[in-house]
Amino acid sequence: MCFLSADPELVVMTFPHLSRSLTGLIAGSAPVFHHRAFSVTAVAAAIQKMTRVRVVDNSSLGNTPHHRPPRVIHVYTKNGVGKVGDTVLLAIKGQKKKALIVGHKMPGDRMTPRFDSNNVVLIENNGNPTGTRIKVPIPTHLRKLEGDYSKVLAIACSFV
Amino acid sequence: MSVFNSCNKLVSTVFKGSVLLRDTGVFRGVCSINRHQCHSLRLPRHLTLTSASCLQRPHVFTCHVDSRRCYSEVFGERQEESPETNSHSTSHSQKTSNSFTLDVLVSLLRQENAVDMCVIKVPDQIKYAEYFIVVSGVSPRHLRAMALYAVKVYKFLKKDGDPNVRIEGKDTDEWMCIDFGKIVVHFMLPETRDEYELEKLWTLRNYDEQLRSIPAEKLPEDFIYDVDVTK
């Protein structure tokens, strides 16, 4: 409540980590970007339960807007960590749907691509992809992994 | 034993001189999809068909239809006489019987009465496979039989260093897939084939209609760039 009339500089000083994010929102001030000399990212973990994911195919289930983002509720691996090529169970629009991980923010093996979002492709229970095209680049090392990935690679439009 | 006999018979049919028939079969398969977008190629007179189909666009890739190979083969066979073709074919069959090539796969699919076979040559820029084959079948049982026969022939013809090949989608009944390294084969029912339209995607790479109909992604209004916080 009290921020409405506060001096923007004062707010920025007390909450230094908000220096970039809130400057645009405080009324009457221009965004102030404090540029670093190096890039930083948040701590990135692989995909596990309750991670929000991005559905990258053109299925209607993945693309219709919903008030909650799709979340992972189960990872089908021995440990609960999902990497590229693992199947997960998502909760989307109030229903459960299986999906295949095609990219995550966590760095993987050397010479494998790292993505800026946790990408996932919806899959039926029999392994057929729900959507028909994937616009986002798909890593080619999926081909060497053990599993049924040829169908997802067949509907992919670009490879990384 | 029976597998051996059937494989030998299969391999000898590759060079029995039915080149024209094979090409027309493949042309027909490709033409059914691309008819509205073709213009005719410069084909030899005896090979003109109603709709020759290779898309000639700068970054879109030609459907491989054995056309280049059939030029030399057809012209070569015209000049050979029958006693020579016999010796020619036996030496050829000895050479080809040792490796599982695209010819072997295409002829075995024709032998299995595959419906609407489409062989697409994948360009080198896409580092996926060299040839992409889409095949329809009459029923799920037909698809499964074709897939199992293809794997059987591959296992017979492979050498010791080659990896084994698995059938993906074995528990589905409408879409099965085999990845032979350089060749990828998809066995689908006609309804599934129309739904996914893989041939359109792999021939018109970025100009595909379904790709274009995907709306461009928009950022939400409250999106704040670079809000990642470090500890």
Give buried/exposed letters for A141-153 (b at 16+ CB in 10 A, else e): bbbeeeebbbbbb
User: ipTM for the complex?
Assistant: 0.73
Q: Write out chain B residues lying below 8 Å of A111, CB-based.
A: none
Residues of B in contact with A155 (CB under 8 A): 196, 198, 201
Q: What is the pLDDT of residues B64-122, one digit of tens each?
A: 444 444 444 434 344 444 444 444 444 444 545 678 889 999 999 999 999 899 999 99
Q: What is the DSSP string of chain A?
A: -GGGGS-HHHHHHH-GGGTTTSTTTSTT--------SS--------B-TT-B-EE-B--HHHHS--SS--EEEEE-SSSS-B-TT-EEEEEETTEEEEEEEEE-SS--STTS---SS-EEEEE-TTS-BSSS-B-S-B-GGGGTSSS--HHHHHTBS-B-
The band of A45, judged by pLDDT with boundaries at 50, 70 and 90, is confident
Which residue of A58, A133, A148 is in closest CB contact with B169? A148
CB contact under 8 A, A148 and B214: no
Mean pLDDT of A45-69: 92
B130-168 pLDDT per residue, tens? 999 999 999 999 999 999 999 999 999 888 888 888 899
A-contacting residues in B 13-42 (Cβ below 8 Å): none
Banded pLDDT at A40 (limits 50, 70, 90): confident
Which of B189, B92, B193, B112 shows the shortest CA–CA distance to B152? B112
pLDDT at residue A101 tops 80: yes
Structure token pair of residue B52: 């020759």
Percent of chain A with pLDDT over 90: 66
Query: In the structure, what pLDDT confidence band is assigned to residue A30 with cuts at 50, 70 and 90?
Result: low
Q: What is the rounded distance in angstroms from the CA atom of residue B114 to the CA atom of residue B25?
A: 10
**pLDDT, position B43:** 38
Condensed to tens digits (0 to 9), the pLDDT of residues B45-66 reads: 443 333 334 343 444 444 444 4
How much is the pLDDT for B11?
47
User: What is the distance in angstroms between the Cα of B25 and the nearest Cα belonging to chain A?
Assistant: 24
Report, as an integer, the average pLDDT of A79-94.
95
- A155/B195 touch (CB, cutoff 8 Å), yes or no: no
Query: For an interface test with B, which of A41, A151, A155 has the most B Cβ atoms less than 10 Å from its Cβ?
Result: A151
**From CA B17, how far away is CA B89, in angstroms rounded?**
9
Residue A15 touches chain B, beta carbons under 8 Å: no
Residue B192 has pLDDT above 80, yes or no: yes
